[in-house]
Structure 1
Amino acid sequence: MSYRTALDHVLTGAVASGGEPARTQGRFPRSGVTALGRAGLLGLTVAPELGGGGRGLAEAADVVARVARVCPAAATVLRSHYAAVAVVEAYGGAWVRAEIAAGRHLCSLALEEDGPEFAARRTGEVVTLRGRKRQVVAAGEADSYLWSSGPSGGGPGGLGGRSLWLVPAHAPDLYVPARAAGPGPSGSATSTVCADPVRVPASALLGEDGGGERLVRELVQPWLTELAAATGVMSGVVSGHEPALVAS
């Protein structure tokens, strides 16, 4: 079955039925996102050998554009997911990539800083992250966040002095303090996510320690720009702002 046929099956069903509550009640379109996962569309860009669709940015943009006509909230969630997966697919482990391919794992971006603290400290094989991320799509709904921080030590600071981590949503002391209406479409669960602090294994690092700015510039931002253009909404992370990680 082609990805377009799979998408047709869920657009008129679960995605459409979740669109109205998202617009009118601000309800996260969980049933639509779940259906997209089961149809293989969350794993659209994951390698085929791990069960993914093996597709690229053009196909992801097509999916986002078509979903946006039915449920803007779900399209916003997909934009953040696909942009995060671009990094995970390049640098993440096989287990999480297979979970994404199976439609059981939703990723989101947590890049924009809220406040001065975005520290990372490594002790042995454990890294402690501290900070507040604003404009996070699917806050409290995603399974993991692509999280930016300062380098944890020993990285090439000349690459921007930032690092990227895949932080599981169930990590202790990672929380959403409020579900205030964010800048994203109603129902997209755009809010702040806090690490106060959060401890992750050193293996959660994606790419090089200190190399996060390059990854955002080369992977995340091109995906976000193309996916936003597909829906006629130009955006940085979610609302017209470049990620703080790449701001000058």
Structure 2
Amino acid sequence: MSYRTALSVVLADVVAPTAEQAVREGRFPRDAVSALGRAGLLGLTVSSGSGGGGLELPEAVDVVARTARVCPATAAVLASHFAAVAAIESCGGSWVREEVAAGRHLVGLALREGGSDGPEQGDPYGRSSSVAARFADVVALRGRKRQVVAAGEADSYLWSSRPLAGPDGLTLWVVPARAPELFVPARPGGGGPRGSGTSTLYADPVLVPADVMLGRDGGGLDVLLRRVRPWLLELEAAVDGALPGSVAGAVGPGGEEPRSGPDVLRPEGGELRPAPAA
């Protein structure tokens, strides 16, 4: 069965019947994501050698655009997932590739930040305010990521931080959702299509094995510019282009999610909850 035929079946049987509920109630389209995984569509762009579909950006854009016409929330989740998988594929060797290929694993992008560091505020390709420190075979990640699609719903997140060694560049990590001290707000902020689970992730700090580093220390910016940004631009355009109004309208001015408290790691009096493992 071709990926287009498989997608048509999932859209008709699973995505369409739950799309209105996702918009009306803001409910994450878990059934749709699971069905897409079973149909091989989450692993569409994983290399065939790792058990995936072995396809590329044009096919991913096609899947996202067709899905957006039925359920914008599901399309936004797919766009983020495919962009994250592009980074994982470019580096190779990640523990998560086979899980994605098997349709059991959803990846989210945790790249965008907010702060008071000047013109690079919120720029996922600029200087990161998230930090990493290594202790033997464990790395402590500390920071806050905003506008994370599928926050608290994905199985892992592509996370960026300052390098372990040296002041320049970025380092990428594949952070498991089950990692202790990874939190989403109990009352999440806005951003993204309703139902897409777009919110903030807090690492305060998160302890992960050192081998979840993706690529080399300090080499993440090249991966983001060469792979993630081109993919994300086309995938997000596919979401927007399939809708009567731009998805960006659900995001605050300047592409930022609305704020409900101080711009700090753990807002005073704010309630946080662990990011549930899927």
* TM-based fold match above 0.5: yes
Give how far 1:241 is off.
4.6
Q: Distance in 1 between matches of 2:64 and 2:72?
A: 9
Q: Distance in 2 between matches of 1:231 and 1:77?
A: 10
Aligned partner of 1:129 in structure 2 is 141
CA contact (8 A) 1:132 1:195 kept: yes
Aligned partner of 1:167 in structure 2 is 175
Percent sequence identity is 62
Q: Distance in 1 between matches of 2:216 and 2:112?
A: 20
2:113 aligned counterpart, secondary structure: strand
Instruction: Please give the per-residue CA displacement for 1:196-221, whole angstroms capped at 9, x wherever unaligned.
Output: 10111111111121111111111111
Q: How does 1:201-220 map to 2 (within 5 A)?
A: 201-220=209-228
Give how far 1:34 is off.
0.5
Specify the code of the residue in structure 1 equivalent to 2:108. S
Gapped runs of 5+ residues in structure 1? 243-248
Give TM-score, length-normalised by structure 2.
0.80
CA contact (8 A) 1:114 1:131 kept: no
Corresponding position: 1:176 with 2:184: yes
Instruction: Please give the per-residue CA displacement for 1:6-63, whole angstroms capped at 9, x wherever unaligned.
Output: 1011001111122111111100000001000000000000011221100000000000
Q: How does 1:4-23 map to 2 (within 5 A)?
A: 4-23=4-23
Q: Distance in 2 between matches of 1:177 and 1:235?
A: 22
2:109 aligned counterpart, secondary structure: strand
Q: Distance in 2 between matches of 1:217 and 1:235?
A: 23
CA contact (8 A) 1:179 1:191 kept: no
Aligned partner of 1:245 in structure 2 is none
Q: Distance in 2 between matches of 1:24 and 1:118?
A: 35
Specify the code of the residue in structure 2 equivalent to 1:216. L
Gapped runs of 5+ residues in structure 2? 117-128, 257-278
Corresponding position: 1:199 with 2:207: yes
Corresponding pairs, count = 237
CA contact (8 A) 1:7 1:36 kept: yes
- The runs of at least 4 consecutive aligned structure 1 residues that moved more than 6 Å come to none
Provide the aligned C-alpha RMSD in A. 2.0
Aligned partner of 1:25 in structure 2 is 25
Q: How does 1:201-240 map to 2 (within 5 A)?
A: 201-232=209-240
Q: Distance in 2 between matches of 1:94 and 1:114?
A: 28
Corresponding position: 1:152 with 2:164: yes
Aligned partner of 2:150 in structure 1 is 138
Q: Distance in 1 between matches of 2:13 and 2:49?
A: 29
Give how far 1:229 is off.
2.0
